[in-house]
Structure 1
Amino acid sequence: MSMAVSTSAPHPPGSGAGPAAPTFSLADYVVFVLLLVLSLAIGLYHACRGWGRHTVGQLLMADRKMSCLPVALSLLATFQSAVAILGVPSEIYRFGTQYWFLGCSYLLGLLIPAHIFIPIFYRLRLTSAYEYLELRFNKAVRVCGTVTFILQMVIYTGVVLYAPSLALNAVTGFDLWLSVLTIGVVCAVYTALGGLKAVIWTDVFQTLVMFLGQLAVIIVGSAKVGGLGRVWEVASQHNLTSGIELDPDPFVRHTFWTLAFGGVFMMLSLYGVNQAQVQRYLSSRTETAAVLSCYAVFPCQQVVLCMGCLIGLVMFSYYQEYPMSPQQSQAAPDQFVLYFVMDLLKGLPGLPGLFVACLFSGSLSTLSSSFNSLATVTMEDLIRPWFPAFSEAQATMLSKALAFGYGLLCLGMAYVSSQMGSVLQAALSVFGMVGGPLLGLFCLGIFFPCANSPGAVTGLLAGLVMAFWIGIGSIVTSMGSGSAPVPPNGSSFSLPSNLTVPLTTLMPAVTRSRPTGLQLFYSLSYMWYSAHNSTTVIVVGLLVSVLTGGMRDRDLDPRTIYPVLSHLLALLPLSCQKRLSCRSDGRDLPMDTEVFPEKMSNGIFRGSQDKEVMAMNAESISPTFILQETSL
């Protein structure tokens, strides 16, 4: 597939016929191979340790004994893929520093999982996040959520495996399918044999490699252009530095509101309800360790974002002083960063290999997390409920086979990606399209006690339809328009063919005139996709739930609910709390965070029960919860 399809672009002043594309030296190959060998060694170490005594709990949940720091670094690495490492600097180079404000979304995007999702999931002692959906709704909702997640991750991991290898092949001549096969097989082997503990500890190692690779580029690049002060000065002179853009228009691609608040929903879909992340929370030895690991991700995410943005600024400053090669002037955005790194680090043996190791560390961490989480949900949600008679040894062997099998399946998806051409953009966008509806499904269950299973299934389907409608529509529209924004330095680029926007979905092309009608609908900023799609699930789910009788005559486990209104009422004066309380005696009911009673007689309330009986059965259930439940 051709990655650079644009016509020849004008070069920066002083550029001429640049040098030939750089190639790897022996030292670079050694550094790159060392990454693969050490990753495999870590996985095999955990596989051999206790060989023959592994249980399903050890393979899938690391025996629930992981400490805070490795879990935090693994959380960071899971979605810090090569897509982000290549995409963020390219974004900054082409459009300026507005994207940096995404860091504002990290606070709420991590605080909400830490204080709402983690306590609920951890206290329920889940293995798969989709077990929650059966506890809250029924088995059909659980299966729908699981199948949706599998679809999301299989397509995404195929692209994550293929696209960086393709970019590397185009820039360095590194054999495309050899790198795809090597990365896929190595990752599948250590994930299948070592389980979640191997995945987490290899993530720790790969995170350090990612930090070192990006740091090397920043240090060498800033030194060549006169320091970070000079970098910022050049960026300011060319209007690359962005102020706070307070335009509330959701159809503007990047504004402060789009990034700071639309980004919150993107973060929640990644760090709140995605199985790959939830599985790490649940592997922690205590709930406190799980919450602290989520806290620890916040500064790490800020550092990673800053490093990606600085690479983009350094790259811009560098090409104001040094000529750009003809290959790079015609490159697609996903290749551009690699051309820059190979140009910058030439003559420094080992450093280009370190950055390539950094790039593939991102891919390895994402792939291993995907393989492990896919094996977990398949085992726990689709196999064990139907075959409960499996022995521990059989379940363990099947879990290993599933992890390895998903590795081979993603190798197949990588081949499919190579045949997809421009549709590759749509494949990578699936991750963002599906994440929003899944977030909406969990929020429907957690925050709305009146929601029932028909509402959940209908809401999820409506959210997926809306997600694919907007997502595919925006891609087709942008491909049809054929227009792309002009970078600040005047160079032109082809339309992105895969890795343009990090983590979730690709941007729609920016048109030169404001669209109308459906065109306007399709031009919704990609940062609002998760918010829009999750809201669709909630609204449709609540409407259907009300029309089908809510939770009347249905079982409701109070441990699956987070009583938002009771926490808000706790901010009111005591007299207001008593007036809003449903207790006939007017006594103040507890309204703290202890919403998971452990001394209930049966652990489940029925929607048809009298509210006074419910209050006696669970003193710690908030009055708001009872009011909402009995009002339907």
Structure 2
Amino acid sequence: MDLPIIDLIVFFVYMAAIVLFGVSFSFRKRTALEYTTGGGRLPSWAIGMSIFATFVSSISFLALPGNAYLSNWNGFVFSLSIPLAAWIAVSYFVPLYRKLKSESAYYYLETRFGSWARVYASICYLLTQMARMGAIMYLLALPMNALFGWSIPVIITCTGISVIIYAMMGGIEAVIWTDAIQGIILIGGAVLCLLVILFSMPNGPGEVISIAAEANKFSLGSFDFNFVESTFWLILIYGLFINLQNFGIDQSYIQRYITAKTEKEAIKSTWLGSLLYVPVSLLFFFIGTTLFSYYQAFPDLLPADLQLPENADKVFPYFIVSGLPKGVTGILIASIFAAGMSTVSTSINSSATVFLSDHYRKYINKNATEKQSMRVLFLSSFVMGGISIVVALAFNGVSSALEAWWALSSIFSGGILGLFLLGFIVRKASSKAAAIGVLCGVLVIGWMSLSAVLFQGTALEGFQNTLHANLTIVMGTLTIFIVGFILSSFFQRKFEK
């Protein structure tokens, strides 16, 4: 399917404008601290939009409508956990990190448990970001390849290079301001698309509701306490743990707390970014539901291959190309790329910050000059971006990139949320107890993630994990926290620092 010239122009103008805008920040003379924190002078609304844009990756932009189109609103329950996680963040996490005044999220773990905890957590973060950036760029390329015939490696490489250029040269200011613009574009694009669908229905917008309600498309899932299937409670618990990890220990979020002018501004930006995601994710789910109703009303408009369940994620991009007016299609495609680019640029900058703060300045060159620090930030940004392109290319051909990303993220997370909560809540928790807790947590995570592969067809087949995959982070976190708590509380003398 070929894109009209006007849509190609809109798309390429957007890509060029974003890159040039981001690069413009490189003309300012900055220290390493300004490169990583923006000098603590960024406005709360821009930081909040950046937090929001980090939430909304291309996975969200494509997978949420696809999920709602195929099934129901069970996945929206994830968003319902965000207000509670955000309240905990603004009450405890934001004040903590603002007080520490370190650009690294993992400095706190060193103050509680020693250098090993900081190194462990930072390495887990870097591995997670490599997998995350790779998965996002690959999933972004899939529908573009299916709809336009564009080469997957070319899409991945061009997108990756574009993001590397402005994230590397512009620093955190370029990332936050481009995120803010991209967040506005993707919201505007999604709203525009929804309005077109609603007013294209034969009997008006109300027909969307009647068709979807009859098919039970608004269901939030089963309310049974079943931790094998994707129930309401399972997704709610999973969402709470994921979002606590985001707000409590993810460098991408903590770094934004530091960029705000004051603690009050940091709290405002956290509320804005987190709460904005709730209605926007609802918007994406509603788009998926309206697409279901639309193609029920016009079944002949959807090709037979896209009616297959495994192609649900491609229905939204197909409508963007086939059902929108010329020019608008270009804006929507730009919105999809905006969602992916904002998340990747954030990961590149935060990963470079982690490498400089947690590794280079601590173990390689403790007395690094500003010039050396800036060189390390540039180089590590470039290397992380390059690795993400390689990882994305390695995803090409896997049966399910989304499942591969979930498995990798569960393993690479290493249960560091449990380590953080242990240090934050259990004041008498010792380093030895924490280390044993981490070891037990890693074993649990490994068992839950890999037992189905390792034990299948062997004598240990009965020891395979039967719980839902989303509970991996929950069980890993709880294991580290509970083991560390028990050892510190009941064997305190034996496990003193």
For normalisation by structure 1, the TM-score amounts to: 0.73
Cα distance in 1 between the residues matched to 2:17 and 2:401: 35
Among all aligned residue pairs of Structure 1 and Structure 2, give the percentage whose two residues are the same amino acid: 26
Work out whether 1:455 is the aligned partner of 2:437.
Answer: no
Q: Amino acid of the residue matched to residue 122 of structure 1?
A: R
Cα distance in 1 between the residues matched to 2:11 and 2:357: 36
2:319 corresponds to which residue? 340
Work out whether 1:300 is the aligned partner of 2:244.
Answer: no
Which of these residues, 195, 207, 210, is aligned with residue 230 of structure 1? Answer: 207
Cα distance in 2 between the residues matched to 1:442 and 1:97: 32
Cα distance in 2 between the residues matched to 1:475 and 1:263: 26
* Secondary structure of 1:23 counterpart: coil
2:385 corresponds to which residue? 407
Cα distance in 2 between the residues matched to 1:119 and 1:363: 30
What is the CA distance between 1:85 and its match in structure 2? Answer: 0.8
Cα distance in 1 between the residues matched to 2:307 and 2:273: 36
Cα distance in 1 between the residues matched to 2:454 and 2:100: 43
What is the CA distance between 1:228 and its match in structure 2? Answer: 3.7
1:538 corresponds to which residue? 481
1:365 corresponds to which residue? 342
RCO higher in 1 or 2 (8 Å CA, sep ≥ 6)? 2
8 Å CA contact 2:175, 2:345 repeated in 1 = yes
Greater Cα shift, 318-327 or 461-470:
461-470
8 Å CA contact 2:241, 2:474 repeated in 1 = yes
2:466 corresponds to which residue? 522
8 Å CA contact 2:78, 2:238 repeated in 1 = no
Cα distance in 2 between the residues matched to 1:523 and 1:354: 41
Distance 1:550 1:94, change over 3 A: farther
Per-residue displacement from partner, 1:44-92 (whole Å, max 9, x unpaired)? 11111x2xx3100111111111221011010011131000111111111
Return the structure number with greater helix share: 2
Which of these residues, 107, 115, 137, is aligned with residue 139 of structure 1? Answer: 115
What is the CA distance between 1:422 and its match in structure 2? Answer: 5.0
* Secondary structure of 2:26 counterpart: helix
| Larger Rg belongs to | 1
Q: Amino acid of the residue matched to residue 210 of structure 1?
A: L
Work out whether 1:464 is the aligned partner of 2:442.
Answer: yes
* Secondary structure of 1:224 counterpart: coil
2:361 corresponds to which residue? 384
Distance 1:139 1:124, change over 3 A: same
Cα distance in 2 between the residues matched to 1:91 and 1:364: 22
8 Å CA contact 2:175, 2:342 repeated in 1 = yes
What is the CA distance between 1:452 and its match in structure 2? Answer: 1.6
What is the CA distance between 1:101 and its match in structure 2? Answer: 3.1
For normalisation by structure 2, the TM-score amounts to: 0.92
What is the CA distance between 1:525 and its match in structure 2? Answer: 5.7
Cα distance in 2 between the residues matched to 1:246 and 1:428: 24
Greater Cα shift, 83-92 or 456-465:
456-465
Distance 1:342 1:429, change over 3 A: farther
Cα distance in 2 between the residues matched to 1:454 and 1:35: 52
Alignment of 1:197-346 (within 5 A): 197-225=173-201, 226-242=203-219, 245-255=222-232, 257-322=233-298, 323=300, 324-330=302-308, 332-345=311-324
8 Å CA contact 1:437, 1:530 repeated in 2 = yes
8 Å CA contact 2:124, 2:413 repeated in 1 = no
Q: Amino acid of the residue matched to residue 292 of structure 2?
A: F
CA RMSD of aligned residues (A): 2.4
What is the CA distance between 1:428 and its match in structure 2? Answer: 4.2
What is the CA distance between 1:421 and its match in structure 2? Answer: 4.6
Cα distance in 2 between the residues matched to 1:40 and 1:474: 44
8 Å CA contact 2:73, 2:285 repeated in 1 = yes
Distance 1:472 1:279, change over 3 A: same
8 Å CA contact 2:7, 2:327 repeated in 1 = yes
8 Å CA contact 2:73, 2:221 repeated in 1 = no
Cα distance in 2 between the residues matched to 1:445 and 1:550: 18
Cα distance in 2 between the residues matched to 1:414 and 1:553: 44
8 Å CA contact 1:471, 1:522 repeated in 2 = no
Per-residue displacement from partner, 1:135-164 (whole Å, max 9, x unpaired)? 111011110111111111111211111221
Cα distance in 2 between the residues matched to 1:406 and 1:461: 27
1:124 corresponds to which residue? 100
Cα distance in 2 between the residues matched to 1:377 and 1:244: 39
Cα distance in 2 between the residues matched to 1:35 and 1:196: 20
1:396 corresponds to which residue? 374
8 Å CA contact 2:448, 2:469 repeated in 1 = no
Cα distance in 2 between the residues matched to 1:435 and 1:270: 11
Cα distance in 2 between the residues matched to 1:476 and 1:224: 51
8 Å CA contact 1:71, 1:200 repeated in 2 = yes
Which of these residues, 344, 352, 357, is aligned with residue 375 of structure 1? Answer: 352
Work out whether 1:89 is the aligned partner of 2:33.
Answer: no
2:36 corresponds to which residue? 60
Cα distance in 2 between the residues matched to 1:261 and 1:425: 19
Which of these residues, 166, 171, 192, is aligned with residue 190 of structure 1? Answer: 166
Which of these residues, 2, 5, 8, is aligned with residue 29 of structure 1? Answer: 8
Alignment of 1:9-20 (within 5 A): none
Cα distance in 2 between the residues matched to 1:299 and 1:544: 38
- Aligned pairs, number: 489
Distance 1:462 1:79, change over 3 A: farther
Cα distance in 2 between the residues matched to 1:314 and 1:321: 10
What is the CA distance between 1:546 and its match in structure 2? Answer: 4.9
1:616 corresponds to which residue? none
Cα distance in 2 between the residues matched to 1:243 and 1:181: 38
8 Å CA contact 1:441, 1:537 repeated in 2 = yes
Per-residue displacement from partner, 1:204-247 (whole Å, max 9, x unpaired)? 01101111221121011111114442211111112222267431
* Structure 2 gaps, min length 5: none
Cα distance in 1 between the residues matched to 2:79 and 2:401: 30
Cα distance in 2 between the residues matched to 1:422 and 1:461: 29
Distance 1:378 1:363, change over 3 A: same
8 Å CA contact 1:90, 1:334 repeated in 2 = yes
Cα distance in 2 between the residues matched to 1:246 and 1:165: 36
Q: Amino acid of the residue matched to residue 165 of structure 1?
A: A
What is the CA distance between 1:192 and its match in structure 2? Answer: 0.8
8 Å CA contact 1:440, 1:535 repeated in 2 = yes
Work out whether 1:163 is the aligned partner of 2:139.
Answer: yes
Q: Amino acid of the residue matched to residue 486 of structure 2?
A: L
Cα distance in 1 between the residues matched to 2:221 and 2:386: 46
Cα distance in 2 between the residues matched to 1:198 and 1:551: 50
Greater Cα shift, 365-374 or 322-331:
322-331
